[in-house]
Amino acid sequence: MRALFSVIFLLISMFLNGQGLHGPGYVLVIHGGAGNITPARVTPEKQVIYEAKLKEALAAGQKVLANGGAAMDAVIAAVQIMEDCPLFNSGKGAVFNAEGKNELDASVMDGRSGKAGAVAGVTIIRSPVEAARRVMDSSQHVMLSGKGAEAFAGEQGLELVDPSYFYTDESWQEYLKVKERLEQEGRKGTVGAVALDSHGNLAAATSTGGMTFKKYGRIGDSPVIGAGTYASNESCAVSCTGHGEYFIRNSVAYDVSVRMLYLGETVEQAAAYIINEKLKSQGGTGGLIAVDKNGNISMPFNTPGMFRGFVKHGAEPQVFMFR
Ligand code: ASP
């Protein structure tokens, strides 16, 4: 009898904690881009502002997860906070291409169903990550680009904005600077989120303006499933940031997953090898965030810094930017 009561008590407390039947409870990890993020460039005043925004994004996703919501809803909620914030290179504040225009890319992947959605080169969709989700849920396709993606988003009732919505003076000044030097510098961060929900499901989302001064029509890794974004309930969920061409050539997000499955590596080992050895040896800069099916996380980067943070079930959110 006593044992029966203990089991009932345990189940009730798991339910109340939002853990459901899944052991580790929920985990959410976010990034706001990797790059030349150093104390010299991010002043103490700016650090406070970045930390507050990263925490706000974590809180938005955590709210979903703590209520027993889906990992997909959590990653979208977290990414949308950063898309709407001019501090990051996604949505409002996205960097400019060589023509002085904002072209946005985003993708999502659901680890339970294996379904994915992406948009590339869009210029008037306020939330590219939401458009990516609609491609996954409401179309027969995985990726839509340019005008076709924008028409689809309109049909879906998503908010369309004038391209000037994405303009920020900071991104424009960076564009002018890079135009002058014709090199990548002071890159602002792409945003991403990965989550494990209390039902044991994984999801990943990434949203970006791409690389400053990219060629008109250039598509990076962020909307490419397996390169910038990947999720599978068998292994892990991954969102990447960095020099996209290297992430595409190395199928980075998928590689984290399959190294775990085929080589038996931990998420930490797989992610660290790819970022700090494989990519680094090729000159590929950037980082990634990952969470595995047991709630273990990894956030490696081979740049001076990466905006990042995580929150686990029942714990305080933590955010970082430097090494
Ligand atoms: N990975 C993005 C791209 O190449 C840029 C970034 O993460 O900073 O488009």
pLDDT, one tens digit per residue, over 57-81 is: 999 999 999 999 999 999 999 999 9
Rounded CA separation 39/137 (Å): 42
Site of tokens 């929150």: 311
Q: Which atom of ligand 1 is nearest to the CA of 209?
A: 9
User: Which amino acid residue places its CA nearest to atom 4 of ligand 1?
Assistant: 244
Rounded CA separation 109/135 (Å): 11
> 242: Cβ below 6 Å to ligand 1?
yes
Q: Each residue of 205-232: pLDDT tens digit?
A: 999 999 988 999 999 999 999 999 999 9
User: Across residues 10-26, what is the average pLDDT?
Assistant: 53
Beta bridge mates, 122: 104
Q: Each residue of 81-95: pLDDT tens digit?
A: 999 999 999 999 999
Rounded CA separation 309/30 (Å): 5
User: Across residues 245-271, what is the average pLDDT?
Assistant: 98
User: How remote is the C-alpha of 121 from its chain's centroid?
Assistant: 17
Longest dimension (CA), the chain: 78
Mean pLDDT of the chain: 92
> 106: Cβ below 6 Å to ligand 1?
no
Helix (H, G, I), strand (E, B) or coil at 74: helix
- With CA atoms as reference, report the closest residue to 216 among 124, 301, 101: 101
Do residues 57 and 30 touch, judged by C-beta distance below 8 A?
yes
Contacts of 144 (CB under 8 A, 6+ apart): 118, 119, 120, 135, 152
Do residues 288 and 297 touch, judged by C-beta distance below 8 A?
no
Q: Which two tokens stand for residue 65?
A: 């997860």
Do residues 88 and 32 touch, judged by C-beta distance below 8 A?
yes
> 94: Cβ below 6 Å to ligand 1?
no
Rounded CA separation 177/320 (Å): 27
User: Which amino acid residue places its CA nearest to atom 5 of ligand 1?
Assistant: 210
Q: Which atom of ligand 1 is nearest to the CA of 228?
A: 1
- Given CA atoms 70, 71, 76, 82 in this order, what sign does their dihedral have? positive
With 0.85 as the threshold, say if the pTM is over it: yes
Confidence of residue 2 (pLDDT cuts 50, 70, 90): low
Domains and CATH numbers, the chain: 20-322 (3.60.20.30)
Rounded CA separation 72/26 (Å): 12
Q: Each residue of 109-162: pLDDT tens digit?
A: 999 999 999 999 999 999 999 999 999 999 999 999 999 999 999 999 999 999
User: Which amino acid residue places its CA nearest to atom 7 of ligand 1?
Assistant: 241
> 220: Cβ below 6 Å to ligand 1?
yes
- Given CA atoms 313, 318, 322, 323 in this order, what sign does their dihedral have? negative
- Please give the pLDDT value at position 46: 94
Say if residue 12's pLDDT is above 60.
no
Site of tokens 């345990």: 10
Rounded CA separation 288/298 (Å): 8
